[in-house]
């Protein structure tokens, strides 16, 4: 048995002590794990994740208050996440924090591994190396909590003057991690609760007080030290719980069936292995709390990783490390061969899943780990040089954000950016005044939607708003931060369009918050049943109440919530399908007119009647999941009454037109400009960059031209910087499916001189059974040095 209940301590077994002495040499694991976990952030970029991480550092530098000014899944130290993209300011703080976090995590692992044989330490290092790409950040934090639990358990029999300072240091490290991401705060509460209960069961009351007090005091000290007000603590906890509770229903993404089967098998085996390793005995409550911690942690990791299927590497990494951490708990008490076999089975199953689902080969994984260690050593030797390089990359990104008319019009006035391109405000050094939930896809509960609505309805609303319709996961654009967008319709008027961005200016109009309709306004319908929309020149709000069945609620708890589709039919008969957020739909959003891109916002509500939504229905994305929803749907259609600032501004000129394109883009990344190249006007897109076109159902073919700027191949700086070209790609994106590749070409004039010639874009005919998006993208290779890609004369031709 691992632990005995009651007051008496079990004497250490001589064999266990011998094993512990053999494990005492495991300190060599500290530098190995340190160099593997160390990560100095990512290059600045205009993509989704880099953008929010830059805003978090900006918010820290400007003293914003979490829970009031900022509401996000990350906490006041969120800017210190190792995967954060660079933003100038607090550079040395960030770099030193990465070193201290990696060192602290490595020390925790090394301390835990002192109680087990050397082969387990090798297994831990192998898991970290193999899963390196998915372990930085969340996975490493979860594993740190698991190994820290083992350290406390294994040090419980040491004298108080040794164990209490150690536990206080652990509490501070884990509190710092909890201040980075709110999910880790939940895990910290779990860690403290189970260890306090474990101590109380053994009548170690002083130990329980030290564990609880050190964690809580450390968390409060870090809260205050990061510039937060003590009075805002409860608002932070309440808003963070709310945004986390809405994450699962809104952000769920279905996984590949084979991957999901491997994950379910690994989770079941992991839970069985944890029970076998801990081997709880009736009457020994301390042991039950050990099992409760590791079992709950395993389930939290499962949900955090599989809610969005693209997070699966984190699951398999933690599924391997958590049983190994649990194995460390029993090292001092007995040597159980069966327990090590159980842990080994979980590790082997996770590795098998990786090899079966990942395109990477074992050799490539080892090479990547080695390259990461070598890079970390180079950075440690030249930290100032590394920081200068990061600043240069930021300046390059800033230079690529070219919106001169918007910058001149906004001037020194306050501005917010919807939906995701906050890098525009940061790059142009505007007076950025973000709404609390500053990235629209996270506003998906009633409370978060109301917070953002209040931001634009109050007297302190920003003077300008830079709008770009960028709904993620094929969501209906006007539901993404739906109440805030409705408020923009009321209070803001279009000023100009530049490079796909619409600049809105606040008017003197007041606007009351949108209220829920009375119960009598709702009509009962069936899932999938068409609902006719009243035809009017005034905007129309829709409120929808769709409930899960008991089976759907069970699936949502154990795995993820099934997705819903919003099916629209226009007056002209065009069929459009979008992802519908079930919880957000209860708060309402504008369903008509159809506002899908910046141009739609410049037209009066009555313009383009053929494109107005005439009929709507709500159904599961996957028809086989219909039994996961209640079949009755309650829908209310409410006129959105004026006055409106919105009017017909269709004559607004697009300052950065699309040269030679058969249709304007529906969306594009922020890195965008129009230049002269090889005698043509071309769209310059410094990779990584992309541009998208909305297409109706039908048959199409695509023609155009693309390449790298001609001067790149002869540029000495490009050659010295080891420029390696770009990968040009074209794909189709439809709701509920993975992107479908249409065309791909490597362009690398530095390795192949023939690539310096312009490349023809020629995509043979393809069929779209429903509305979809064509994306043309330029992806960077090993680095983005001189990735000066461009695109021109894109002709999207219907095929009869």
pLDDT-derived band at 645 (thresholds 50, 70, 90) equals low
Tell me, what's the pLDDT at 206? 94
pLDDT-derived band at 550 (thresholds 50, 70, 90) equals very high
Tell me, what's the pLDDT at 428? 93
Helix (H, G, I), strand (E, B) or coil at 758: coil
Kindly tell me if the per-residue pLDDT of 364 is higher than 90: no
Phi, psi of 57 (to 5 degrees): -70, -40
Tell me, what's the pLDDT at 283? 46
Could you report the per-residue pLDDT of 181-220, keeping only the tens digit for each?
A: 999 999 999 999 999 999 998 889 999 999 999 999 999 9
pLDDT-derived band at 333 (thresholds 50, 70, 90) equals very low
**What integer best gives the mean pLDDT of the chain?**
85
DSSP state of 656: S
Instruction: Pick the range with the lowest mean pLDDT from 12-21, 477-486, 517-526, 572-581.
Output: 12-21
Rounded (10°) CA dihedral 315, 319, 320, 323 = 160
Tell me, what's the pLDDT at 64? 96
Tell me, what's the pLDDT at 650? 52
| pTM summary value | 0.82
Q: How far is CA 704 from the centre of its chain?
A: 33
Tell me, what's the pLDDT at 736? 58
Residues 6+ apart with CB under 8 A from 761: 702, 703, 704, 705, 706, 728, 730, 743, 776, 791, 794
CB 395 within 8 A of CB 387: no
Distance CA 46, CA 53 (A): 11
Distance CA 551, CA 486 (A): 34
Q: pLDDT above 90 covers what percent of the chain?
A: 47
Distance CA 326, CA 306 (A): 22
pLDDT-derived band at 339 (thresholds 50, 70, 90) equals low
Could you report the per-residue pLDDT of 131-168, keeping only the tens digit for each?
A: 776 777 888 999 999 999 999 998 988 899 999 999 99
Kindly tell me if the per-residue pLDDT of 305 is higher than 50: yes
155 versus 737: the higher-pLDDT residue is 155
Phi, psi of 732 (to 5 degrees): -110, 135
Q: What six digits make up the tokens of 278?
A: 């801990």
Tell me, what's the pLDDT at 643? 63
Tell me, what's the pLDDT at 608? 58
Instruction: Pick the range with the lowest mean pLDDT from 11-25, 727-741, 781-795.
Output: 11-25
CB 694 within 8 A of CB 600: no
Tell me, what's the pLDDT at 344? 75
pLDDT-derived band at 607 (thresholds 50, 70, 90) equals low
Q: What is the mean pLDDT of residues 458-476?
A: 89
Kindly tell me if the per-residue pLDDT of 282 is higher than 60: no
Q: What's the maximum distance between 2 C-alpha atoms anywhere in the chain?
A: 87
Q: What is the mean pLDDT of residues 635-663?
A: 69
240 versus 27: the higher-pLDDT residue is 240
CA angle 120, 126, 132 (to 5 degrees): 135
Tell me, what's the pLDDT at 4? 35
Residues 6+ apart with CB under 8 A from 11: none
Closest CA to 484 of 499, 469, 501, 496: 469
Distance CA 477, CA 241 (A): 25
503 versus 419: the higher-pLDDT residue is 503
Q: What is the mean pLDDT of residues 355-383?
A: 80
Could you report the per-residue pLDDT of 663-686, keeping only the tens digit for each?
A: 877 777 755 667 778 888 788 888
Could you report the per-residue pLDDT of 433-446, keeping only the tens digit for each?
A: 999 999 999 998 99
Kindly tell me if the per-residue pLDDT of 642 is higher than 80: no
Tell me, what's the pLDDT at 70? 95
């Amino acid at each position: 048995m691992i632990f005995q209940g009651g007051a008496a301590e079990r004497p250490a077994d001589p064999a266990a002590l011998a094993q512990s002495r053999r494990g005492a040499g495991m300190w060599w694991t500290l530098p190995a794990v340190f160099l593997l976990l160390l990560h100095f952030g990512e290059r600045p970029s205009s993509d989704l994740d880099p953008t929010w991480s830059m805003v978090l550092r900006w918010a820290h530098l400007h003293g914003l208050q979490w829970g009031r000014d900022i509401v996000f899944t990350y906490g006041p130290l969120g800017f210190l996440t190792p995967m954060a993209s660079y933003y100038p300011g607090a550079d040395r703080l960030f770099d030193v924090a990465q070193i201290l976090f990696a060192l602290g995590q490595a020390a925790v692992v090394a301390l835990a591994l002192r109680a087990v044989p050397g082969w387990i330490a090798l297994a831990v290092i192998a898991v970290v190396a193999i899963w390196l790409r998915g372990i930085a950040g969340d996975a490493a934090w979860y594993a740190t909590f698991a190994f820290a639990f083992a350290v406390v358990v294994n040090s419980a029999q040491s004298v108080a003057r040794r164990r209490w300072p150690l536990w206080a240091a652990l509490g501070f490290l884990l509190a710092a991690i909890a201040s980075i991401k709110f999910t880790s705060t939940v895990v910290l509460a779990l860690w403290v609760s189970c260890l306090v209960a474990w101590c109380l069961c053994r009548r170690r009351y002083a130990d329980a007080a030290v564990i609880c007090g050190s964690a809580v005091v450390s968390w409060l000290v870090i809260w205050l030290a990061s510039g937060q007000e003590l009075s805002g603590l409860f608002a932070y906890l309440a808003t963070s719980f709310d945004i986390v509770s809405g994450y699962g229903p809104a952000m769920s993404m279905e996984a590949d069936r084979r991957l999901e089967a491997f994950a379910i098998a690994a989770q079941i085996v992991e839970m069985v292995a944890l029970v076998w390793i801990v081997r709880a005995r009736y009457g020994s409550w301390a042991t039950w709390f050990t099992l409760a911690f590791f079992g709950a942690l395993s389930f939290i990791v499962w949900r955090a990783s599989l809610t969005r299927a693209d997070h699966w590497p984190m699951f398999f990494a933690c599924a391997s490390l958590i049983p190994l951490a649990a194995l460390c708990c029993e090292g001092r008490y007995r040597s159980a061969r069966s327990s090590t076999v159980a842990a080994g089975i979980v590790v082997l199953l996770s590795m098998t899943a990786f090899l079966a689902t990942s395109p990477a080969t074992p050799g490539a994984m080892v090479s990547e780990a080695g390259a990461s260690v070598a890079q970390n050593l180079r950075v440690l030797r030249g930290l100032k040089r590394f920081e200068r390089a990061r600043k240069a990359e930021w300046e390059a990104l800033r230079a690529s954000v070219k919106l001169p008319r918007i910058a001149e019009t906004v001037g020194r006035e306050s501005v917010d950016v919807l939906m995701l391109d906050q890098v525009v405000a940061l790059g142009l050094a505007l007076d950025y005044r973000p709404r609390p939930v500053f990235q629209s896809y996270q506003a998906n509960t009633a409370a978060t939607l109301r917070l953002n609505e209040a931001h634009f309805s109050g007297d302190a609303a920003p003077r300008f708003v830079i709008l770009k319709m960028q709904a993620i996961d094929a969501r209906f654009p006007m539901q993404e931060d739906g109440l805030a967008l409705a408020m923009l319709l009321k209070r803001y008027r279009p000023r100009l369009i530049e490079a796909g961005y619409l600049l809105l200016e606040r008017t003197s109009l007041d606007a009351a918050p949108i209220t829920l309709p009375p119960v009598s306004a709702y009509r009962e319908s069936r899932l999938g049943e068409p609902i006719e929309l009243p035809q009017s020149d005034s905007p129309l709000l829709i409120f929808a109440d769709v409930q899960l069945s008991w089976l759907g609620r069970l699936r949502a708890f154990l795995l993820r919530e099934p997705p819903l589709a919003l099916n629209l039919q226009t007056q002209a008969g065009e069929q459009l399908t979008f992802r519908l957020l079930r919880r957000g739909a209860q708060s309402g959003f504008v369903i008509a007119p159809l506002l899908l891109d910046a141009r739609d916002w410049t037209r009066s509500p009555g313009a383009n009647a053929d494109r107005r939504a005439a009929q709507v229905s709500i159904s599961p994305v996957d028809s086989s999941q219909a039994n996961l929803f209640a079949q009755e749907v309650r829908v209310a259609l409410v006129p959105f009454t004026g006055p409106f600032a919105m009017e017909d501004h269709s004559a607004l000129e697009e300052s950065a037109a699309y040269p030679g394109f058969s249709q304007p883009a529906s969306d594009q990344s922020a890195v965008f400009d129009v230049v002269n190249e090889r005698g043509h006007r071309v769209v310059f897109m410094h990779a990584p960059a992309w541009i998208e076109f909305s297409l109706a159902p039908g048959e199409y073919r695509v023609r155009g031209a693309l390449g790298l700027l001609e001067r790149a191949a002869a540029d000495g700086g490009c050659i010295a910087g080891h420029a390696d070209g770009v990968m040009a790609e074209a794909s189709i994106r439809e709701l509920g499916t993975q992107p479908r590749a249409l065309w791909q070409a490597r362009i690398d004039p530095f390795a192949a001189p023939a690539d310096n010639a312009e490349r023809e874009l020629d995509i043979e005919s393809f069929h779209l059974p429903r509305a979809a998006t064509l994306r043309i993208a330029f992806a960077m290779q090993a680095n983005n040095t001189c990735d000066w890609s461009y695109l021109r004369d894109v002709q999207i031709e219907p095929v009869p």
